[in-house]
Structure 1
Amino acid sequence: MSQAYPGQADWHPSFIIIGAVKAATTWALEQLQVNPALYMPDPEPHYFSSEFDRGEDYYRAYFEAQVGSGRMLGEKSADYLAHPDAPQRIANMLPHARLVVQFRNPVERAYSDYKMLYRRGTVKEGPEAYLASLDNPQPRFLNDGLYAQHMRRWLDHFPTDQIHAFLYDDVKAQPKATVEAISHHIGVDPVFDIGQSRKKANNASERFLPLPVRKVLAPLKSTIAPLRGHPLFESTRGFFAREIAYPPLSPQLRLRLRDFYAEDVEQLGKLLGRDLSAWLRDEPRDAQNSRGEREHSKVA
């Protein structure tokens, strides 16, 4: 059960996963949902970012049915990290909330974010149209990876011991230890589901249903969600799913992105007390994962 603080309503979440987008936040959500001591809604509320104008009743609706259940309440909205107003808004309502933030190589994150909107049909041109500078129709691709810049905003409103940070690389190298560290930070005994971890890894393919089919099924997303993992559902999906041919990230653009992020990566490394220089080098991902870095970081 979460600790009660003055001014904290019984439906207020005690912890929030704040991002970053495309950095394994869904993996963290699904691992924490396995824990019977916790409740986290499947949809991202986005209350402290894009949905703030909908008012407090909108946010309460995500949690009020769980009041009295004895479960600790939390949520995940991956866009909070980069949103300029989210830190102040959360601090105003939930000043004691435990925050969880994860980071991914910003070059890989930017391209992954681009690919997500490309397969949705939101963007149609190649990466050069969106990743060469911030002056483009989707500045989030670049802006969301300026992690140190964003973290300074959060540190203006929250003490360091309320923020737990880890890397996308940690999820791949040490998934169980990652879940344990998050759980200890938010104040519950850890539960790790190796099957859930493997299922997520197996589903992280580049095969998707055709865009027109995905648009038709979009309103049924919550209805379909429980069917995921069922052999019949997966075999049917696999029959229709196709690998998407994404416009490639050229070596020249990759180098330009490294230059763009170099100073911010250095500053983030100082905040976390970790060597992140491998993010800016040509190095196999396994080598990056095996570097002698501190396993799990508090923002320092």
Structure 2
Amino acid sequence: MLFSGCPNFLIPGAGKSGTTYLASILSQHPDIYIPSGKEPAYFSAWPERGNFKFGVHQYRKNFQEVSSETRIGEASTVYMYDPESPKLIREQLGDIPLIFILRNPVERIYSNYWQEIKAGKELPLFSEMIESGHPRFLEMLWVSRYGAHLERYFTYFSKENILVTFLDDLKDDPEAYVWKVLEFLQVSADVPDLGLYTRANDSGLPKSKLVARGLRNRRLLQTVRSLTPAWAYDYLGRTVRWARRVNEQSYVYPTIDAKSHRILLSELEADIRLTESILGCDLSSWRTTK
């Protein structure tokens, strides 16, 4: 055990697939503790995203307010695609329950692109980014290779401790989806309303790209967090999220163009089939061209 009150379950991803929403819902359950600051990312040394280098003392700050909760968790999407994360988690936390949320990988990449724009990043047009092999696109593509990532987790963790779910199921029936997760975590499903229809992330564009970049600068935020006393940790997280919302303006993203969709499918076809093989399910809807 890393420390008293350390996590006994994790939500490793995938990013842009409902992890923020699920973490928000579960945190309202009286028997579950999830820190308000998403993405502690301790079990990762991935460049600019992993926080393993900051040490367990820094990680422990996220769980200072744990009291009588029986389930303690956190959601860090970098754990999904960092090849070292499964080994680090298993070594330090043991064979704990893991919850994955998968989304159509083409849609995930497109949503990821607009998240970057929302964060004030300077990127080319989506179609240009794909066709040029832009480094950020290649990373987005890597994140969406679910089969490769799940293979690693099934190597380190028991099958019964891995719950793989789908964003479409969450959208179609939030109550049934959350009940399934609560059953997996072995906590009571007989709880008050958990705000199931409250969105955790809305689309939008930044009013100021400079401000947006500052509020999502991982290195800067991690430095500030390291200097923040434990009692103010939750307040810091709420303040940052409030500032992000204030700096956003509503915007409806355009749909992905057909050519970009076909290119992404050709890149992901083999991994989609690998994911089907690992999970024993039909993901043919993910292979439908526009």
Shorter chain as normaliser: what TM range?
A: 0.7 to 0.9
Mapped partners of 1:214, 1:55: distance in 2: 27
TM-score by length of 2: 0.81
Aligned positions of 1:210-225 closer than 5 A = 210-214=208-212, 222-224=237-239
The answer on 1:94 being equivalent to 2:93 is: yes
- 1:37 equivalent to 2:37? Answer no
Task: Identify the match of residue 204 of structure 2 among 179, 196, 206.
Answer: 206
8 Å contact from structure 1 (residues 131, 141) kept in 2: no
> Hey, what's the Cα distance between the residues in 2 that align with 1:195 and 1:13?
21
Q: Does 1:63 align with 2:74?
A: no
TM-score by length of 1: 0.78
The letter for the 1-side match of 2:199 is: K
Deviation for aligned residue 1:213: 4.9
Report what 1:115 is aligned to: 114
Match for 1:158: what amino acid?
F
Task: Tell me if the contact between 2:117 and 2:205 (Cα under 8 Å) persists in the aligned partners.
Answer: no
Q: State the 1:209 CA deviation.
A: 4.1
Aligned-partner Cα distance in 1 for 2:266–2:249: 34
The alignment status of 1:265 with 2:272, answered yes or no, reads: yes
The equivalent residue for 2:43 is 48
Which structure 1 segments of 5+ residues have no match?
1-6, 229-233, 284-300
1:252 corresponding residue in structure 2: 259
The 5 A counterparts of 1:1-300 are 7=1, 9-43=3-37, 44-49=39-44, 50-66=50-66, 68-132=67-131, 136-190=135-189, 196-200=195-199, 204-206=202-204, 209-214=207-212, 222-224=237-239, 241-244=248-251, 249-282=256-289
Alpha-carbon distance in structure 1 between the residues aligned to 2:136 and 2:178: 36
SS of 2:164's partner is strand
Give 1:118 shift: 1.7
Residues 196 and 210 (structure 1 numbering): CA distance in 2 closer, same or farther, change over 3 Å? farther
Q: CA deviation at 1:210?
A: 3.9
Q: For the residues of structure 1 that align with 2:6 and 2:163, how far apart are their CA atoms? A: 19
Gaps of 5+ in 2: 45-49, 222-234
- Once the two structures are superposed, residues 224-243 of structure 1 have per-residue CA deviations (whole angstroms, 9 ceiling, x without a partner) of 47879xxxxx9xx5xx8534
Percent of aligned pairs with the same amino acid: 27
**CA, structure 1 residues 138+188, in 2 after alignment: closer, same or farther (shift >3 Å)?**
same
Q: CA RMSD in A?
A: 2.9
How big is the shift at 1:9?
4.3
Give secondary structure in 2 for the equivalent of 1:189: coil
- Partner of 1:197, secondary structure, is coil
Partner of 1:297: none
Q: Distance in 2 between matches of 1:208 and 1:122?
A: 10
Q: Secondary structure at the match of 1:73?
A: strand
Change (3 A) 1:143 1:79: same
How many pairs are equivalent? Answer: 266
Where 1:97 maps in the other structure, the secondary structure is coil
